[in-house]
Structure 1
Amino acid sequence: MAGAHAQRASGAPVRYARRVHPAPWSFSWEPLFLALSLAAGFAYAQVARRAHPSTPRALVFGLGLALVVAALCSPLETIARHYLLLFHLLGNVMIADWAPPLLILGLTPSMRAALARRGGRVLARVARPWVSLPVWLAVWYLIHLPAFYDYALRHTWALNAEHALLIAAGLLFWWTVFGSVLSTPSALAYLGVAFVSSIFLGLAFIFSSTPFYDFYEHAPRLWGLSPAKDQNLGGILMNAEQTVVFLSALAYFLVRLLNEEELQHAAEARKAEAGR
């Protein structure tokens, strides 16, 4: 302890006490998110008796829940919490970028309408793009600040808060997209701004030769990955998955926009022909 105080006083980096690390392929469990996932699945099954979602839609919702559980209750979480930033970033994108849109797409229109009614004015206000987009970006960047990230890795409650913030911000962001909040052109603009605004974190990870996080700099290494290479690969993963997710969503709304224009032109043509 005296040595640590001396290091702090001299400005040298503090090396934390050696900890016993679990085997990389052992399971980690986050009971809170496992319980919430089970509760969400049970609630969906109950509502499905009345809403009658199609099998593909129900499978999409189930896949969203499975991604949350796989990210936080598996060896992936063990490696993320004790060994590699790459796996931590993978878990984060699974719960922030992959699971939320699937969970919302897994809801039938009547389910989404019921949620909108229950959310009332609060949900209507926070789901506005000028609120949901800044909130999503703020969460995305702030939780990856070294001070918070290192603290969360050493304190379970803060790590749970990190995961909860990512899931909540992701659900809010994608609710704005798929919850009938935006017109198709507005959705395209919203997604484009979000994509461009979110890539800088991944770029910082890719091009930095200095590890950002003290925790991973001193963590045991796997597969010969140095802390810097671990961070670079994490940035590549982050930017690659965001490119796939956002370009897929943009392509969907672009096709929808073209279809809407064709339907509008066809309706105008029929109206003009009827007026002759």
Structure 2
Amino acid sequence: MAALRIGPGDLQMVRRFRPPAAGEQQDESDRPHRRLPGASSNAFAHLCRNPPPGQWFTAREPDTRGGMTRAPSIRGIARTPRLAPVVAAALAAGPASAHADHAIAPDHVWTAWTFDPLVLIPLLLALWLYIRGRRCLPAARRRAAEAWSFLAGIIVLVLALVSPIDALGETLLSFHMVQHMLLVAVAPPLLLLGRPGTAFIAALPGGTIPGLASHPVSRPLVRGLIFLTGLVPATLLHAVALWLWHVPLLFEAALLDEWVHTLEHFSFFATALLFWFAVLAAGRVQRTAPSGALAAFVTFLHSGMLGGILSLAPAPLYPAYGDRPALWGLGLLADQQLAGAIMWVPIGPAYLAAALWLLFKILNTRDARV
């Protein structure tokens, strides 16, 4: 998420962290930006090609030049007293973090929370960086709708990975599908609509971005990220993740092994971030909006097809659930049919809505030209 593309105005914001070099007359904001091919507005690509000259400094006191407040140094972040109780509480929850190895009955639902520090710490850190970065931005750049969207995305991730939905996914396939729906179709677009890239960059210490950009490994990594956020690679990767993890052998392996389960969730969420980033980025440019609409519509079709396979299968595809659905008055096949309906109905319309939104933007722009 930290590699979101941002515009030239954001590059000017990043450059304000650097004091002018001795004898420098030219305003940095007036210098033309050199760009990597295919990445006209990617901040990391720009910095790799054109790292800022001069000595970047690390702020230790507030500075309001340009309407911003510089982020503190890494040492200052590490000493932040407000973060220590949060980290300690997350680590203390470690013993209760393992997935339930038994079925969850209806009368024990609200005791089945999953307090995994490997989940809680990244979520809290992302939220903290986002809030800190927004405070560093000028008031004109702080849009309340973006902040609420990012917060809603974090809440959805908490529902998917911390609430009883996570533990119930090992009892009912239908709840497992609800969790997947939140990870691939709800949380990623909400997070990305909050524009976290701008906030994260503003929250980092002054020398972090140029330091990373000057590292010899950064250029191939940035090129790889630019490629993966293209519409075709992102759509294909997202489709592969959706279909591959629903192969019975891999699905049951994730159900029985905690590390495989974590890998499944990571691949779902990561490929969904790439996909939604590519679709939303395509919607910002008239030339690429039709391609974005096509990618969203294709994803709507193949995800609906997968849901149809689950709903219409004549026999249970995932027998590892055993008699657990019986605790909820469901048989294996009925639970699987419900899971397929969840993938077909709630997940599919999310992709269809994205396609229709892009088509509306295309038609609206053409009407404005006429």
TM-score (norm 2): 0.61
Q: Return the structure number with greater helix share.
A: 1
Cα 1:220–1:196 change in 2 (3 A) is closer
Q: 1:225 is paired with a residue of what secondary structure?
A: coil
Which of the residues 69, 81, 95 maps onto 2:158? 69
Q: Which structure 2 residues correspond to residues 1-276 of structure 1 after superposition, within 5 A?
A: 20-22=102-104, 23-26=108-111, 27-51=113-137, 52-81=141-170, 83-107=171-195, 110=198, 120-180=222-282, 183-265=288-370
Give CA-to-partner distance per residue, 1:55-79, whole Å, 9 cap, x none. Answer: 1211111111111111111111121
Tell me the CA shift for residue 113 of structure 1: 9.6
3-state SS in 2 of match to 1:209: coil
Change (3 A) 1:20 1:92: closer
Q: Is the 8 A contact 2:185 2:351 kept in 1?
A: no
8 A contact 1:96–1:166 mirrored in 2: yes
Please tell me whether the aligned partners of residues 152 and 190 of structure 2 are also in contact (alpha carbons under 8 angstroms). Answer: yes
Q: Distance in 2 between matches of 1:201 and 1:148?
A: 15
| Matched-pair contact (CA < 8 Å) for 1:71–1:91 | yes
Deviations 1:185-238 (A, max 9, x none): 111111112211222210011111311112213435233111100000111111
What code does the residue aligned with 1:98 have?
A: V
Whether the aligned pair in 2 keeps the contact of 1:53 and 1:107 (CA below 8 Å) is no
Alpha-carbon contact 2:114-2:163 (below 8 Å) kept: yes
Structure 1 window deviating more from structure 2 (252-261 vs 172-181): it is 172-181
Structure 1: any 5+ residue segments left out of the alignment? 1-18, 266-276
Point out the more displaced range, 215-224 or 136-145. Answer: 215-224
Question: What's the CA shift for 1:126?
Answer: 0.8
Distance 2:222 2:129 in 1: 20
d(CA) in 1 for partners of 2:357, 2:325: 42
Question: For 1:227-258, what per-residue CA distance to the aligned partner results, in whole angstroms no more than 9, with x for missing partners?
Answer: 10000011111110123212221221122112
CA contact (8 A) 1:53 1:108 kept: no
Change (3 A) 1:170 1:199: same
- State the 1:177 CA deviation: 0.8
- Separation (CA, whole Å) in 1 of partners of 2:233 and 2:200: 20
Identity %: 28
In 1, Cα distance between equivalents of 2:134 and 2:193: 14
Give the Å deviation of 1:50.
Answer: 3.1
AA partner of residue 219 (structure 1): R
More deviation, 141-150/216-225: 216-225
TM-score w.r.t. the length of structure 1 is 0.81
What letter is aligned with 1:54?
Answer: R
Distance across 1 between alignment mates of 2:197 and 2:319? 46
Q: Alignment RMSD, CA only?
A: 2.4
**For structure 2, which runs of at least 5 residues remain unmatched after alignment?**
1-100, 203-208
